[in-house]
A and B are shown apart, each in its own frame.
Chain A
Amino acid sequence: MFPQVAPSIPQVIQLIPLNNYLWLSTALFVIGIVGVLTRRNAIVVFMSIELMLNAVNLLLVAFSSYRSDPTGQVFVFFIMAVAAAEVAVGLAIIVMIYRNSRSIDIGFLNKLKF
């Protein structure tokens, strides 16, 4: 896909074509999306979202090493740090809900339906 690959890339990486990485992370991403849309347990939905983020990380690292450009990997660090902050807030919200309602099934979230 990228003919202008720089020679400094380790040959090992090129043995697996870039398209394979692309398909793998797309598959992981789609599994994450399906998980978010179908699962009822808030924690599992949450894990699916993390799966989506990790698919993105994988893709960024693959692109980054194919182009021998470190920016992509730096972005991965930022995604990981921000995801940790998001996890903290998300789990706090889930704990808060559990304390008030004794359940983390998102099916019961219907107080706000009209």
Chain B
Amino acid sequence: MNYLPSDYLPIIVQLVLALGFIVITMLVTHNIGPKRNSKLKDEPFECGIEAKGDARTPISIKYFLVAILFVLFDVEVIFMYPWAVNFKKLGLFGFGEMILFMGLLLAGFYYIIKKGVLEWEK
């Protein structure tokens, strides 16, 4: 296999097309459409309900906790990829090690549940 620089031409064409489409649509809509500003039109669409407050209101710390826990448990999956690829070669020993690893992970999960972090309404 040998790639020449010219082989990358389709990618560049695709890139130019995608960028061009976005730029052109933005220019066209801004220039062709009529502009009528009023107080009502400038408001964010809220189904007729008046908008109030700031979009950046502080949200519950629970979202944050769950997100962090997700990151922690999510990343551990990467250790399973090399294990799965070498599953046959590692045999029973590898299986036992993975069970141990999962057991430790589950101990952490059990701790979280016991602490009541995942109870949404408390």
- Contact A77 B82, CB 8 Å, known A11-B2, A87-B71: yes
CB-CB < 8 A to A91: which residues of B? 64, 68
Comparing A1-9, A45-53, A59-67, A78-86, the segment that makes contact with chain B is: A78-86
User: Do the beta carbons of B71 and A84 come within 8 Å of each other?
Assistant: yes
Question: Of all chain A residues, which has the CB nearest B77?
Answer: A81
- Contact A80 B1, CB 8 Å, known A92-B68, A95-B64: no
A112 on interface, CB distance cutoff 8 Å: no
Q: How many residues of A contact B (CB 8 A)?
A: 16
B78 on interface, CB distance cutoff 8 Å: yes
Q: How many residues of B contact A (CB 8 A)?
A: 16
A88 on interface, CB distance cutoff 8 Å: yes
A15 on interface, CB distance cutoff 8 Å: yes
- Contact A81 B78, CB 8 Å, known A88-B72, A91-B68, A95-B61: yes
Interface readout for A16-51 with B: 1 if CB under 8 Å, 0 if not? 000000000000000000000000000000000000
A85 to B76, CA, bound (A): 10
Main secondary structure of the interface of B (DSSP, over half): helix
A72 to B29, CA, bound (A): 51
A37 to B47, CA, bound (A): 47
Interface readout for B56-81 with A: 1 if CB under 8 Å, 0 if not? 00000100100011011011101101
A87 to B78, CA, bound (A): 17
Which of A's residues lie within 8 Å of B, judged by CB?
10-12, 15, 70, 74, 77, 80-81, 84-85, 87-88, 91-92, 95
- A-B pairs with beta carbons under 8 Å apart, 29 shown: A10-B1, A11-B2, A12-B1, A15-B2, A15-B3, A70-B82, A77-B79, A77-B81, A77-B82, A80-B75, A80-B78, A81-B75, A81-B76, A81-B78, A81-B79, A84-B71, A84-B72, A84-B75, A85-B72, A87-B68, A88-B68, A88-B69, A88-B71, A88-B72, A91-B64, A91-B68, A92-B68, A95-B61, A95-B64
Which of B's residues lie within 8 Å of A, judged by CB?
1-3, 61, 64, 68-69, 71-72, 74-76, 78-79, 81-82
Which 3 pairs across A and B sit closest by C-beta, in order of nearness? A84-B75, A88-B68, A77-B78
